[in-house]
Amino acid sequence: MDWECKSLNWTDHDFRNFRYGLRETTVVTKFSPNKASFLRENERKPGLCVILCSRDEPVFEGVPARISYLPFERYVFNTIIESLYIHPTITRTIGREVAYFSIQYHGNCEAKDSKITCTARTSSRLHDDIALSSTFLLEPGLNLAVIYGCNDEQKEQIIHRLDTLDLSYNHPTLLPGLLAQLERIRIVGMTDKLMDKFVLRGLVDRGFDRELDLDMDQTRLSSFLKLCFESRDLRNQTQTVKKQLAKMAAETIKFGEIISQKDAEDLLSLGERKRLKSAGELIDSQLSEITDEFDDKINDCKMIGDNMSLTMQTVWNNFAREDNKTSLKLSRVNTDLARASTGLSEDMKRDSSQMRSIALLTMVFLPLSTVASIFSTTLFSWDATEGKAVISGYLWVFIVIAIGLTSVTVGVWYLATSYTRRQEVSRQGIIPLYQVPV
C-alpha cells in the first residue's frame, strides 16, 4: 500500500514528478508588525509568505499544461523547499488529479520547531485547477505556502484576498480555506453557466415554449445529451469537493482541541491560543457556508440532469411510438401482400389445373388429329383399283420433310433456351456445376 509520507525529506523520485522552466513567479508577503525575512530563522515573525507559480502554455490547443510544470529551475525549487518546509506529499496530491486535502503534524505543541503542513488541490476534470502546499510554523505563527498552476485571474484574486486579510485570522488551514474559496468561485460559476444553458433550452424565438418539442433533430438531441452529461459530471465533482471540505473542517476543529491542551501552554501564550481558536472557528464557519452553497449547486445540477433525462426519455418514447406505428403499418402492408400472394397462388393453382386439362385434351386429340391429317393427304388412295398402289411413292418426301422440320424446330428451341440460361448465369455471377474445375 502507498502510505502517506510523514518525513520532510525529498528524494530524486519526488523531484522527477515535476518539470522545470523559466516563467513569471509572484511572491506575496505579509508580516506583523513589519516586514521580515522568512529565509532566516532568527528574523521570522508572525505573518505569511505565498509563492504563486504561473501556469505554463497549453501543450496542445484546448489541452492545458499540468500544474506540475514549475516556473523555475530545480535548484530554485530545492531552495524553496528548504526555506518553506514544503512537504513531499505534494507530489502525491498533484498526481491524484482529483479534489484532495491532507494535513500532517510534525512534532508536538511542546517543541518550538513544531510544524503543520497541508497539501490540497482542485480537480483537473474541471478547467483552471490549482494545487497548494503550505507549512504553518507554530511558534512564530508564520504561514508559508506555494500555489501551483495559477492563471492571471486567479493570481489577482489571491493577491487581493491576501492584501485585505487580517493576520489575526492566520491559521494552519487558512490557505487551504483560501483554496476552497477559489474552488467555490469556480464551481458556482460553472453551475450558473450550466443553468443558463438549461433555461435557454426552454426559449424559442417568440417567448417561452411550454410544450415539449418531440420532433427535435439530431443536433438538438446531441446538445441535450451534452448538457445532461455536463450536469452529472459537475455534480460528481462538487460532491467530491464537499468531502474534502468536511475533512478540512474536521482537521480545523482537531487543531483547536490540540492547542487547548496543557501541552501547548509552554509554547503558546493564552492570547495566541485564543486567537488561533477564534480563527479556526471562523474558518470552520466559512467552510460550512461553502458546503451549504455546494449543496444548492448539487441540487441545481441534479434538477438539470433529471429534467434533461426526462426530456430525452420522453423523446425516445415518442420515437418508439412512431416506430411502433410504422411497424404496424408495415405489418398491415405485409398482411395485404400475403393476402394478395394467397389469391395469386390460388389463381395460379386454378390456371395450373386448367393447363393440365388442356394438356390432357391435347394428348387425347393431338394423335387423332395427326393421324387424320396424314391420312387425309393424297399420299393414300383408299379407292385405288386393282393393280394400283394404295400408298403413294412420294411418302418418303413427307417423312423427310417432317423429320427435318422437327429437327430444326427442336434445335432452334434448344439454342434459344441455352443462350438465355447463359445470360442469366453471367448476370448473377453463378458458375454452373458442370463448369466448376475439379
- pLDDT tens digit sequence for 305-338: 776 655 556 556 666 667 777 888 888 888 888 8
What is the structure's pLDDT at 229? 80
Q: Is 136 helix (H, G, I), strand (E, B) or coil?
A: strand
What is the structure's pLDDT at 304? 75
2 is a domain residue: no
401 is a domain residue: yes
The enclosing H or E element of 363 equals helix 270-375
- pLDDT reading at 235 higher than 80: yes
- pLDDT reading at 247 higher than 80: yes
259 and 397 inside one domain: no
85 and 226 inside one domain: yes
166 is a domain residue: yes
* R_g of the chain, CA atoms, integer Å: 48
Judged on CB neighbours under 10 Å (0-12, 13-18, 19+), 28 is middle
297 and 408 inside one domain: no
Distance, in Å, from the CA atom of 302 to the CA atom of 383, rounded to the nearest integer, reads: 117
Domain count, the chain: 2
332 is a domain residue: no
Distance, in Å, from the CA atom of 272 to the CA atom of 275, rounded to the nearest integer, reads: 5
What is the structure's pLDDT at 1? 40
Where does a domain end: 300, 323, 346?
323
- Grid cell 504561473 is found at 54
For residue 33, give every residue at least 6 positions away whose Cβ sits within 8 Å of its Cβ, in sequence order, or none.
45
**Which set of grid coordinates corresponds to residue 198?**
438549461
What is the structure's pLDDT at 319? 63
**Which set of grid coordinates corresponds to residue 88?**
513531499
- pLDDT reading at 438 higher than 50: no
The enclosing H or E element of 236 equals helix 218-259
431 is a domain residue: no
Among the residue ranges 161-170, 227-236, 358-367, the one predicted with the least confidence is 358-367
139 and 270 inside one domain: yes
Distance, in Å, from the CA atom of 261 to the CA atom of 432, rounded to the nearest integer, reads: 101
393 and 253 inside one domain: no
30 and 110 inside one domain: yes
103 and 229 inside one domain: yes
Residues 290-305: tens digit of each pLDDT: 999 999 988 888 877 7
Assess whether the previous peptide bond of 33 is cis (omega < 30° from 0). yes
Band (42; pLDDT cuts 50, 70, 90): low
- pLDDT reading at 212 higher than 80: no
Share of the chain above pLDDT 70, in %: 79
Please give the mean pLDDT across all residues of the chain. Answer: 80
Q: Residue 388's domain spans which residues?
A: 380-422
313 is a domain residue: yes
